[in-house]
Chains A and B, each alone.
Chain A
């Protein structure tokens, strides 16, 4: 059986990959996907910590994270569709019209 640390390290690596995606990609859809990777990294931490303390609360919070992720991606994708209609591109640098 792997130790708690190994799960936490896996979670840290996944979170960093997600951060790298947000930093590096020039495509709003991939940026949203990277946010999903980060949310899943957090889920791993919750489930592993819940298993370690022998409580189910970790799994329950995971469900709430999933719900928030679903809501977030629904609104985010709607925004992407609305923006794509105006600019015909997915590059985040094109969407600067809220800047002062």
Chain B
């Protein structure tokens, strides 16, 4: 029974991921990636990690994918450019597909000969591994992950400031000559930016 659920969830995840990679419209890619994340959340529940499953849904499907959707809608880029650059040659796509297939075969081939380990199923183990209290006491313990946790907050701060600075439209007096050329409107005037 568990095995059937695993195969259903795993095939949902894999098929949705293949869909993400094969779609031309980025909007469809983002939607399919949310499906893939939902499948992964199901797998986490099966691995007795309900908290990870919930964060997967809330943070990944909820926050990060909304960010992606927002940008896709903002840029309104319905499809990708058809032109394949000449310097890559006509076989570039086929070579890329072959290389990633090779990577998949090698990874699977490396994993299969490992011993077929099963998980321990007794109730005590399961309840200790899936308890949020256990995760919290590990995460905030100064002997374990408290420092990494604090560093993560600095990382987020840096990313936030970086995102704002990079995406900001430069003021006209800060622009270099090239940038001024690029942002010029067709009638030769500077766009009105604050």
Chain B residues within 8 Å of A64, by CB = 148, 152
- Whether A71 touches B167, Cβ cut-off 8 Å, given contacts A14-B13, A33-B20, A47-B47, is no
Tell me the chain A residues, 24-68 only, with Cβ under 8 Å from chain B: 24-27, 29-30, 32-34, 36-37, 40, 43-44, 47-48, 50-52, 54-60, 62-64, 66-68
Contact size class for A?
35 or more
Chain B residues within 8 Å of A71, by CB = 155-156, 158-159
Complexed CA–CA distance, A21 and B100 (Å): 9
Q: How many B residues face the partner with a CB closer than 8 A?
A: 88
Which residue from B56, B64, B80 sits with its C-beta under 8 Å from A30? B80
Complexed CA–CA distance, A89 and B76 (Å): 10
Q: List, sorted by A's number, 23 A–B pairs whose CB atoms are closer than 8 Å.
A: A2-B6, A3-B116, A4-B116, A6-B6, A12-B111, A14-B14, A23-B100, A26-B81, A29-B72, A52-B119, A54-B128, A59-B49, A60-B138, A63-B52, A71-B155, A72-B159, A75-B159, A78-B164, A79-B167, A80-B71, A81-B74, A91-B81, A91-B83
Q: Residues of A at under 8 Å CB distance from B?
A: 1-10, 12-21, 23-27, 29-30, 32-34, 36-37, 40, 43-44, 47-48, 50-52, 54-60, 62-64, 66-75, 77-82, 84-86, 89-91, 93
